[in-house]
Amino acid sequence: MNTQAPVCACGIVLVLLLLLTVPRTATAQKNDIDIYSLTVDSKVSSRFAHTVVTSRVVNRADTAQEATFQVELPKKAFITNFSMIIDGVTYPGNIKEKAAAQKQYSEAVARGESAGLVKATGRKMEQFQVSVSVAPAAKVTFELVYEELLKRHLGVYELLLKVRPQQLVKHLQMDIHIFEPQGISVLETESTFLTNELAGALTTSQNKTKAHIRFKPTLSQQQKSPEQQDTVVDGNFIVRYDVNRTISGGSIQIENGYFVHYFAPEGLPSIPKNVIFVIDKSGSMQGKKIQQTREALIKILDDLSPKDQFNLVSFSREITQWKPSLMPASEENVEKAKSYTSSIQAHGGTNINGAMLMAVQLLDKANQEELLPSGSVSLIILLTDGDPTVGETNPKEIQKNVQGAIGGQYSLFCLGFGFDVSYAFLEKLALDNGGLARRIYEDSDSALQLQDFYQEVANPLLTAVAFEYPSNAVEEVTQDNFRLLFKGSEMVVAGKLRDQSPDVLSAKVSGQLLMQNITFQTEAEVAEQEKEFQSPKYIFHNFMERLWAYLTIQQLLEQIVSASDAEKQALETRALGLSLNYSFVTPLTSMVVTKPEGQEESQVVEKPVEDENIHRDIPSGHDVFRSQAMGNRKFRITGSISAESWYTSRGRLRGQVGLRALAVGMHDTAQKKNAAVNFSKAGASGKPHGSSGHGPRVPVHYHRLSSHPVYDMTPDLGVDFFVPFLLSSAPSGPDGVSHGVDLGIEGTSPALPASIQAPPFILPLPGQSVDRLCVDIKHSQGPMTLLSDPDQGVEVTGQYEMEKARFSWIEVTFKNLQLQVRASPEHVVVTRNRRSSVYKWKETLFSVMPGLKMTMDEAGLLLLSSPDRVTIGLLFWDGPGQGLRLLLQDTGRFSSHVSGTLGQFYQDVLWEPPAADDDSKRTLRVQGHDHSATRKLKLDYQETAPGAEISCWSVEL
């Protein structure tokens, strides 16, 4: 069998989004369509996930209403079944060859009905949607089933359920059953909607091989508050796990005549690599793209092993190589390469062909001169954001040229930045040359996406990996030869046992490690293995046969991409036959969804492919409104609020142009209303007169921007008057909606008091009778160690920018957990075992992992806690003195070995008596050094912005 692409697994995402809506008519009330039951049952048996989503609804209106059923599922998943039960009659979805369903599909598209039936909705998801008219008092049951093989990504399998019912549900339940015969070594959960109060609805049980996670909130637990009928259940629920492994790395599992062989050996050293980074610097990369590319490349260069060799090729119309040959990844060379990377500027055309041939020539030259270390691995990583425009521009010719030049010697990985590049072109280019393609989404975390991809290929473990089984024992085996195995991934081979197969199935896996042949032997008792999978609670029937079919189809679809025209027909025929036989909706099949007589004609489910233009309309990044209900909502503020409170609580108003926000229009009803807002009266000095916060009432007015509905951007404080704003013009986005609109206030905006600010740090000192200590940074050069406690296994570092008087980043490292939490003004990045996750400030988070609980509330306070450690908090404070802040709790748990800029204050601290002539000054002696402390008024950033005034002893460092 031909060598195929390396196993470089991506984390699997299973996402559920259920949304039931009704037409917005004058008579339709919010919950005319009532979801009275919503269940998600996901059974993961030996990495193969079988998920069933069931929703039961009733129309409580006295007229017919439309119910829309939406489920988001991973792009790699195959829908296997869908049905609707209406008035006791089942309306199934029938899977057919795409050509046979083409007429119905074309008619549906012409009617405009099927375009949204299945569409891409994000980086990893597709959305399934079906609508049906529901008679008064009638009930409908929707059920969708989909399946996917979980792939190992940087050491874990990941299963994610996104739940968004948008109403309270009487019976809401998620059950996740995991069965892994190898044993579960790590199990973690994470949620964006769980709170400490809602955590009681979550139960987790686990033994050696099984885990059961259940989320079953009551109606009262789902409510945001006793007065509100809105649900708090809105967001992601994630399960991550891994299994036990041995040095042999192999596990053969058998069920109902089929087998699967998982291979991910532990303890192997990484193979040195020779890597050429080919970077697009054409004009289309200008701005944030090239900035993020430089940022990512600098971090990637830092991750190179001293045993590696590397070079950089940048291209636009012209092609530039950093050095004439490969360079060792010494500390000196890496620093020089980082300096070169920082100077890369974007301009000109796109000469992909020339750049790729230059990269191959660099490796060929090193190979001819015998400068490539024996047994090393050679990789080319291409990053581009557009189609070729200079030199050879025919994609087929470029693919032919590159494949001919590489000649099977090196592996090529292609990264497409954004949606202006042909993904199909890059995918074939990579698969033709033993690599894979990946899309990099334009977003604030693009640099992290690039780094994450590099981590997947950073540590090759084996080359030329081959699986062998006795020919009299197995048949119809999936891909059994792989070019590369990377650390953190897993190879999977499945097949069928012959009728007269031996009682023991043996397997041999061979590969090369640093020019040495290495062999792994594995055996499995057939009868013993069959017994493992007989628990109906955890297993669905014939799951391993379906796993085999799923894996075979996915590999055939991949082979079709790089196959010749003569080979494609046979591959497509086999993939189609398996898709129909096992009822999978794949790119070769369609599902016809039937509906009751009298409603619109049948709809057709088609699986999108990665390069379809529909992706170009997908918001690639964070949508500030995504967690709010869509529709016509009033933009309102209520009650009498002070200017200072309003400014600082929003964290945006500065000077006369105050709030900068994402605006998409106003209601007709809102335009006709005027109101006045009570602001603090500020004197010439900018300080408020008095503390009541009351001042003159400043009239402001609405101006219509567009007919689009507005999204609620402020808390509903309970008073029915509108706060009008003057909307200035702003550029329109691709959707025709103005974005980044300035909301100005007519009249003069009072200035904030400049004298009282939040200090960089407020420290609670254990065992001291004095007030808290406020620490100001007045002298800083480079990164500083704020806290280091080897007994606690924790270190906190940060970079303070003196000119801006704020931290550009703060990082908390838990050495025993191999976990880092890095906070910047933009977001929080959590990295564990080379795997990074990005979280925006004020996105709620509730994560439980061995040895640590991580939570973030709606105010943006991130807490890192465990029973025996100091609790560390991180916050992006948007009050006066805006910036990153550090909070500490349970400081009595620091050991006697704590040190650092802040840690020193948790050693022996001696307060000298106050000065006789001025009791607002005293001396603080820390480890033999004296610090002057002055009693000052500061803002407590631990309180909601704008913070509460506190009196503390202030120390300057």
From CA 293, how far away is CA 141, in angstroms rounded? 48
> Whole-model pTM?
0.77
Spatial contact of 367 and 276, defined as CB atoms under 8 Å apart: no
pLDDT digits (tens, 9 = 90+) for 648-675: 333 333 333 332 233 333 333 333 333 3
- CB neighbour class for 515 (10 Å; exposed up to 12, middle 13-18, buried from 19): exposed
> How many Cα atoms are found within 13 Å in the side-chain-facing hemisphere of 904?
16
Spatial contact of 402 and 391, defined as CB atoms under 8 Å apart: no
Q: Which pLDDT score is estimated for 806?
A: 85
Query: Which of 196-205, 680-689, 781-790, 862-871 has the least mean pLDDT?
Result: 680-689
Check residues 377 and 236 and name the one with the higher pLDDT.
Answer: 377
- Check pLDDT > 60 for residue 697: no
Confidence of residue 119 (pLDDT cuts 50, 70, 90): low
Spatial contact of 18 and 69, defined as CB atoms under 8 Å apart: yes
Check residues 917 and 11 and name the one with the higher pLDDT.
Answer: 917
Q: Which pLDDT score is estimated for 405?
A: 96
- Check pLDDT > 60 for residue 676: no
Alpha carbon distances (Å) from 265 to 344, 351, 449, 598: 40, 41, 26, 59
From CA 3, how far away is CA 830, in angstroms rounded? 36
Check residues 391 and 13 and name the one with the higher pLDDT.
Answer: 391
| CB contact burial 542-578 (16+ within 10 A = b; e otherwise) | ebbbbbbbbbbbbbbbbbbbbbeeeeeeebbeebbeb
Confidence of residue 127 (pLDDT cuts 50, 70, 90): confident
Q: Which pLDDT score is estimated for 766?
A: 63
User: Does the N-terminal peptide bond of residue 946 adopt cis geometry, omega within 30 degrees of 0?
Assistant: yes
Q: Which two tokens stand for residue 870?
A: 């100091």
pLDDT digits (tens, 9 = 90+) for 213-222: 999 999 999 9
Q: Which pLDDT score is estimated for 694?
A: 38
Q: Which pLDDT score is estimated for 602?
A: 62
**Percentage of the chain exceeding pLDDT 70:** 78
> In which region does residue 532 sit, left (phi positive, over 0), alpha (psi from -120 to 50) or beta (all else)?
alpha
Q: Residue range 895-903: average pLDDT? A: 90
Check residues 948 and 599 and name the one with the higher pLDDT.
Answer: 948
Spatial contact of 461 and 487, defined as CB atoms under 8 Å apart: yes
Q: Which pLDDT score is estimated for 939?
A: 84
- Check pLDDT > 50 for residue 639: no
Q: Which pLDDT score is estimated for 56?
A: 95
Spatial contact of 262 and 47, defined as CB atoms under 8 Å apart: yes
Q: Which pLDDT score is estimated for 163?
A: 84
pLDDT digits (tens, 9 = 90+) for 488-508: 999 999 999 998 888 999 999
State the amino acid at position 849 in one-letter form. Answer: M
Q: Residue range 614-640: average pLDDT? A: 32
- DSSP class of residue 688 equals B
pLDDT digits (tens, 9 = 90+) for 536-586: 566 677 899 999 999 999 999 999 998 888 899 999 999 999 999 999 999
- Check pLDDT > 60 for residue 354: yes
- Check pLDDT > 80 for residue 872: yes
- Check pLDDT > 90 for residue 528: no
Residues whose CB falls within 8 Å of the CB of residue 66, separated by 6 or more in sequence, listed in order: 21, 22, 23, 33, 131, 132, 133, 134
Confidence of residue 112 (pLDDT cuts 50, 70, 90): low
Q: Which pLDDT score is estimated for 107?
A: 67
Q: Which two tokens stand for residue 186?
A: 């790590």
DSSP labels, 582-644 = TT-B-TTEEEEEP--TTSSPPEEEE---TT-GGGGGS--S--TTTTS--S----B--S---HH
- Check pLDDT > 90 for residue 428: yes
Short-list 357, 364, 360, 300, CA closest to 329: 300
Query: Which of 287-296, 423-432, 769-778 has the least mean pLDDT?
Result: 769-778
Spatial contact of 12 and 238, defined as CB atoms under 8 Å apart: no
pLDDT digits (tens, 9 = 90+) for 741-790: 333 333 333 343 456 778 888 888 766 555 688 888 888 778 999 999 99
pLDDT digits (tens, 9 = 90+) for 15-49: 334 444 333 333 334 568 999 999 999 999 999 99
Q: Which pLDDT score is estimated for 361?
A: 96
pLDDT digits (tens, 9 = 90+) for 814-858: 988 889 999 999 999 999 888 888 888 988 889 988 889 999 988
Q: Which two tokens stand for residue 540?
A: 């669905």
Q: Which pLDDT score is estimated for 209?
A: 92
DSSP labels, 49-95 = EEEEEEEEEEE-SSS-EEEEEEEEEETT-EEEEEEEEETTEEEEEEE
Query: Which of 30-39, 52-61, 108-117, 290-299 has the least mean pLDDT?
Result: 108-117
- Check pLDDT > 70 for residue 413: yes
- Check pLDDT > 70 for residue 236: yes
Q: Which pLDDT score is estimated for 61?
A: 93
Query: Which of 167-171, 201-205, 527-531, 679-683 has the least mean pLDDT?
Result: 679-683
Q: Which pLDDT score is estimated for 121?
A: 65
Check residues 107 and 791 and name the one with the higher pLDDT.
Answer: 791
Spatial contact of 860 and 876, defined as CB atoms under 8 Å apart: yes
- Check pLDDT > 90 for residue 427: yes
Short-list 749, 747, 703, 748, CA closest to 722: 703
Alpha carbon distances (Å) from 934 to 105, 553, 940: 76, 72, 17
Mean pLDDT of the chain: 79
> How far is Cα of residue 174 from the mean position of the Cα atoms in its chain?
21
